Chains A and B, each alone.
Chain A
């Protein structure tokens, strides 16, 4: 397949380029690029006027649910959702059944990604840090790394034991792979289902205190000071105090990175007053002050990555009493829209910073090769229109699950296509 991309604006943080750029891509390889390129009639022309061409976006925090929970999502439907959201790669969390805690499961997930959706989305497993995600014994990290794992996490279950966390830091440090922590001091959060504070008090809802997140991050940073070779990544950061802890650790030049979800910079806990279970996630939606702190963290680089924590659940699972409902919402198909609406339109981030947080930074954290946009390189690209105004309609989602609090929201900015593994997908 020969493709001529014209009219688009290249935004590439790796090369520092921000300019109009045309591409000739032959069988997935960038043959030539420049302000004008000559294409004969054998090329299919794709008009990208008003659109951004960026290095392929990666969502480093998704739940694909396979194996074990295929009624919520499969690797195929998850990859279709990723593609529809403008992602050329996803990292899937290990809370499957069986958990991704041995190399056969890691390999299965990684390989399955190549077989679905024409292989247009790369699937990188995040493997469990401990066996069965139980926090007791280390997972076979070296084998898992060989099988394609790019990070270690017991996501959903924080690593509670300081001793095990220490050993996980030490062992993973040999392979330069980060430990990704779902930071939560669980002894303080039992039964909680929303942020502890004014709104929870109003609703009589059991709370999840912000300090539960901050305590765990503080502990982990102290451990990291002791084992500075290790790499620590804070998943879905959500509180002002947590952002402060990470900012301080970065000043010390510890190997700390962090991510935030679009819902944590788009919504605050007052929306729980609707009792809509699509406002229930963990960490929970926090307060306006936390939301502003998270935006500040994105702006000053404390928060490196935007990741969705895409967590599919069926309607039946979600349509129950608030306290009974499972945590989490789908995020892949609204991420770009929410980020441009909530961060670029409000001048928190420039577009190139957005691209860093969706593409270059997560790849650096996970030690994945940087996407190079140059002649002779394989095309791994995300196209998006930052001005496109659209309305979220969950019935149009490619994801098997529709659990989004953003149904009906009007957003600015939408993915328009991806190019990866020789495949072009226009949306």
Chain B
């Protein structure tokens, strides 16, 4: 069994077997992370470039750690501004870096499809570390890993993604991956932040947390961006917190404890109350640890099979 593509651009279209392969591979890497010596040799001699056109501390560090623990040589490139505003195109940037003979590219970019675009213009393996509102496949995978670790299986698991679905790559990768694995996926958020025709994906849409909380095993709470308020998509952070913020009080009404996830960084007491984020039902820090293992698995599978 190996992955169909030599790139990881998104979870959409990946088979259950492929997703399971990545999750299973990550289990052995997760175990390595608890050893005193956390470094293994599979990517020795390979060079990985992290191309981050959007600032992201945690995803970049997570990838860098994963790369180094697989013994790859690592170069990271961060440009807050878009390639175009700098005068150099994404294509030129990528080809220049590739001319330095690299093997894998991890890319984060604000434009949907930018990882697909790169995969067409460079020969290296491309891993999508987030392309605009499209996909963030390693986040989706680490969320699934964390849920599987907690519940034993994903089949039949009921997961609700809470918040700004429209602009969320995390939501999309979760939806694609979880549905393929047989989970039940719902979303809950203001109507202004739910993209059109989302129901067609097989996702239940809710607008009231109290309605959905009794029906799920886990809530994946998304970060709310203040700029969405400025562009008229919701009235205020206060109102957002009151009606869509996940709090201890709201989840306490559920018949059984609900697992809380968040892709980070958290706006404490906006989308998620601080006490809940730090509670025993939160798996937010496990997500972070598992993220390194998942990224090691992806780098390993793509970097050692071609």
Contact call B132/A196, Cβ cutoff below 8 A: no
Kindly report which residue of chain B lies nearest to residue A199, judged by CB atoms: B197
Contact call A203/B90, Cβ cutoff below 8 A: no
Q: Given that A320-B89, A322-B117, A324-B84 are known contacts, is A203 also in contact with B196, CB under 8 Å in the complex? A: no
Residues of A within 8 A of B133 (CB): 204-206
From B55-63, B107-115, B234-242, the one touching the partner chain is B107-115
Contact call A205/B112, Cβ cutoff below 8 A: yes
Q: Given that A205-B112, A323-B111 are known contacts, is A200 also in contact with B195, CB under 8 Å in the complex? A: yes
Kindly report which residue of chain B lies nearest to residue A272, judged by CB atoms: B113
- Check if B30 is an interface residue, CB within 8 A of chain A: no
Question: In the complex, A352 Cα to B82 Cα: how many Å?
Answer: 50
- Check if B184 is an interface residue, CB within 8 A of chain A: no
Kindly report which residue of chain B lies nearest to residue A274, judged by CB atoms: B116
Residues of A within 8 A of B110 (CB): 323
Residues of B within 8 A of A200 (CB): 195-196
Contact pick for B90, options A198, A202, A321, CB 8 Å: A321
B45 to chain A, nearest CB (A): 31
Question: In the complex, A316 Cα to B90 Cα: how many Å?
Answer: 11
Contact pick for B196, options A196, A316, A319, CB 8 Å: A196
Contact call A323/B89, Cβ cutoff below 8 A: no
Contact call A316/B89, Cβ cutoff below 8 A: yes
- Interface bits B173-191 vs A (CB < 8 Å: 1, else 0): 0000000000000000000
User: In residues 141-173 of chain B, which contact A (Cβ within 8 Å)?
Assistant: 167-169, 172
B147 to chain A, nearest CB (A): 22
Residues of A within 8 A of B201 (CB): 201-202
Contact call A202/B196, Cβ cutoff below 8 A: no
Contact call B197/A324, Cβ cutoff below 8 A: no
Contact pick for A323, options B132, B196, B197, B198, CB 8 Å: B132
- Interface bits B83-98 vs A (CB < 8 Å: 1, else 0): 1100001110000000
Residues of A within 8 A of B90 (CB): 320-321
Residues of A within 8 A of B83 (CB): 320-321
Kindly report which residue of chain A lies nearest to residue B53, judged by CB atoms: A321
Question: In the complex, A169 Cα to B197 Cα: how many Å?
Answer: 38
Q: Given that A319-B89, A324-B82 are known contacts, is A204 also in contact with B167, CB under 8 Å in the complex? A: yes
Residues of A within 8 A of B35 (CB): none
B122 to chain A, nearest CB (A): 13
- Interface bits A183-207 vs B (CB < 8 Å: 1, else 0): 0000000000000111011111111
Q: Given that A319-B89, A322-B117 are known contacts, is A201 also in contact with B112, CB under 8 Å in the complex? A: no
- Check if A390 is an interface residue, CB within 8 A of chain B: no
- Check if A275 is an interface residue, CB within 8 A of chain B: yes
Question: In the complex, A324 Cα to B111 Cα: how many Å?
Answer: 8
Kindly report which residue of chain B lies nearest to residue A198, judged by CB atoms: B197
Q: Given that A320-B84, A321-B90, A321-B117 are known contacts, is A204 also in contact with B112, CB under 8 Å in the complex? A: yes
Residues of A within 8 A of B169 (CB): 204
A: contact size bracket: 10 to 19
Total count of chain B residues near the partner, CB < 8 A: 30
Contact call B200/A319, Cβ cutoff below 8 A: no
Contact pick for B134, options A197, A204, A207, A324, CB 8 Å: A204
Contact call A197/B196, Cβ cutoff below 8 A: yes
Residues of A within 8 A of B114 (CB): 321-322
A350 to chain B, nearest CB (A): 36
- Check if B12 is an interface residue, CB within 8 A of chain A: yes
Contact call B12/A202, Cβ cutoff below 8 A: yes
Question: In the complex, A92 Cα to B135 Cα: how many Å?
Answer: 40
Residues of B within 8 A of A319 (CB): 89, 91
Residues of B within 8 A of A320 (CB): 83-84, 89-91
- Interface bits A301-332 vs B (CB < 8 Å: 1, else 0): 00000000000000010011111100000000
Residues of B within 8 A of A316 (CB): 89
Residues of A within 8 A of B132 (CB): 204-205, 323
Kindly report which residue of chain A lies nearest to residue B111, judged by CB atoms: A321
Q: Given that A204-B167, A204-B169 are known contacts, is A321 also in contact with B198, CB under 8 Å in the complex? A: no
Residues of A within 8 A of B112 (CB): 203-205, 275, 322-323
Question: In the complex, A323 Cα to B83 Cα: how many Å?
Answer: 12
- Interface bits B193-217 vs A (CB < 8 Å: 1, else 0): 0011110110000000000000000
A208 to chain B, nearest CB (A): 12
Q: Given that A204-B132, A316-B89, A319-B91 are known contacts, is A275 also in contact with B116, CB under 8 Å in the complex? A: yes
Candidate in A207, A320, A321, A322 with the most chain B CB atoms within 10 angstroms: A321
- Interface bits A288-301 vs B (CB < 8 Å: 1, else 0): 00000000000000
Question: In the complex, A200 Cα to B84 Cα: how many Å?
Answer: 23
Q: Given that A204-B133, A204-B172, A323-B112 are known contacts, is A275 also in contact with B195, CB under 8 Å in the complex? A: no
Question: In the complex, A205 Cα to B112 Cα: how many Å?
Answer: 6
Contact call A203/B89, Cβ cutoff below 8 A: no
Question: In the complex, A202 Cα to B132 Cα: how many Å?
Answer: 12
B198 to chain A, nearest CB (A): 6
B201 to chain A, nearest CB (A): 8
Kindly report which residue of chain A lies nearest to residue B134, judged by CB atoms: A204
Kindly report which residue of chain B lies nearest to residue A201, judged by CB atoms: B195
User: In residues 9-41 of chain B, which contact A (Cβ within 8 Å)?
Assistant: 12
Contact call A322/B113, Cβ cutoff below 8 A: yes
Residues of A within 8 A of B134 (CB): 203-205
Residues of B within 8 A of A322 (CB): 111-114, 117
User: In residues 313-359 of chain A, which contact B (Cβ within 8 Å)?
Assistant: 316, 319-324
The list of the 3 closest CB pairs from A to B, nearest first, reads A204-B133, A275-B113, A321-B111
A-B contact pairs, 17 of them (CB 8 A): A198-B200, A201-B198, A202-B172, A202-B201, A203-B112, A204-B135, A204-B169, A205-B113, A275-B116, A316-B89, A321-B82, A321-B83, A321-B84, A321-B114, A322-B114, A323-B111, A324-B111
Other 11 A-B pairs with CB < 8 A, given A201-B198, A205-B113, A275-B113: A198-B196, A202-B172, A204-B134, A205-B133, A207-B196, A275-B112, A320-B91, A321-B109, A322-B113, A323-B132, A324-B111
